[in-house]
Homo-oligomer: A and B are copies of this chain.
Amino acid sequence: MFRTNLDNIVFFVKYIEKLRNSGLRPTKQRLRICQVLFNTQKTFHFTINDLVKKIKKQINNNISLATVYNTVRAFEKKGYLKQISINSSETYFDTNISNHHHFYDLKEEKLIDLKNSDVGPINIKKKINGKKIKSVEVLVKLED
C-alpha cells in the first residue's frame, strides 16, 4: 500500500491544474507545499512553524519563510485551507475544509476534530440586520 511514481505524477498534474484554475501560478514552492499539505490520507491541523518543519523534513531544499506565509494565506483565501479561531500565540490552520468542530487540548496545545454527530446540529435563531452567517464554529476546551 505505497504510492507509486504514477500516483505522484497524477497528484502534481491535478494540483498544477487546481492552482492554475485559481489564478495561482504552479510554482515549485507552491507544489511542494501542496504535497506536504494535501498528498496525505488524513487531514491535519498545523501552524506555520509546524509546516516549515514538515517542509524541512520531507524536502531537502528549503522554502523561505515569507513564501510559506504567502502561500498559506493564498490557499486560505482560495478555500484550500481553513483558519481556526483560537487564542494561541500562533495561528492554526486546518487541511479539513469541511464544516466541523474542535476539541482544543489546552495542555498539549493540540486540536482534535469533532465529527458533526459528536456535537449535533447548531441552529442559530438570532439574526442581525444586514449580516449573514459565514461560519459556525464550536470550540471545546479540554483540561486534565
Contacts and interface: CB of A to CB of B under 8 A. Distances in A.
A65 interface: no
A135 to B, nearest CB: 5
B133 A142 contact: yes
A140 B119 contact: no
Interface of A: 83-87, 91, 103-106, 112, 114-115, 117-120, 122-126, 128, 130-144
A112 B84 contact: no
Nearest to A107: B131
22 contacts: A83-B87, A85-B85, A87-B91, A103-B126, A103-B128, A103-B131, A105-B128, A105-B131, A114-B124, A114-B126, A115-B126, A118-B124, A120-B123, A122-B122, A122-B138, A128-B142, A131-B143, A132-B144, A133-B142, A134-B143, A135-B140, A137-B138
A102 to B, nearest CB: 10
A130 B142 CA distance: 10
Contacts of A133: 140-142
A120 B122 CA distance: 7
A32 to B, nearest CB: 26
